[in-house]
Amino acid sequence: MIKAIVFDFDGLILDTEGPEFQSWQEIYQAHGCALTLEKWAECIGTADAFDPYDLLEERLDRPIDRAAIRARHRARQAELMAGQAVLPGVERTIHEAQAMGLKLGIASSSTREWVTGYLDRFGLRGHFSSLKCADDVALTKPDPALYVLSVQALGVAAHEAVALEDSPNGVLAAKRAGLFCVAVPNALTRQLTFDGADVQLNSLADLPLEALLARLQG
């Protein structure tokens, strides 16, 4: 019996990943380099992949002004994020889970400051009784530690929880920890492969939560 739902954050609750990738692509293009989705996919859903600053220096074969590039990246990302809204089906899923008496948590490879800033902005933070972020673990996804901590904090067994993920790294982390996993790719990650997921949806708005859980357990 499912007792808890654990949400990823970036790309699942809010599309932060498209703006981040676009801002880095623009920086690489300005330096005469290309940054492909195939390469960028290594770091989607994790904080333990390649460093885009290191990669750019490697491509250019010279040092870069990291402070200036960091400022440019953050400014452009903030500009692209300004018009973002919570992704379709997220709030409905939260309310349906609460109506069913399910516990709710978040497991994110981003920092707590990043995640809580946006949760507070959209009035979502109070819905989650557990929040596990990069600050809480030595290794982020695809390592299972974030999900192991999440189910422990929620007081459920791994097989009693469902992870909602938008990236292959996240799916791998959830399955390694023993959770059911629903892949919900966003506009960027839809181009990637999600072979390990138990169910894949185009959007959380596709199915009522009760029907989704029935499919997982059927």
Residues marked as catalytic: 8, 10
Cβ proximity of 161 and 130 under 8 Å: no
Distance CA 79, CA 132 (A): 27
With tokens 């400022």, the residue in question is 71
Question: Residue 162: which of 147, 149, 143 has the closest Cα?
Answer: 147
**Would you put residue 186 in left (φ > 0), alpha (ψ -120 to 50) or beta?**
beta
Encoding tokens for residue 123? 């009035």
Helix (H) or strand (E) holding 57: helix 52-60
Angle, vertex CA 186, rays to CA 32 and CA 55, nearest 5:
30
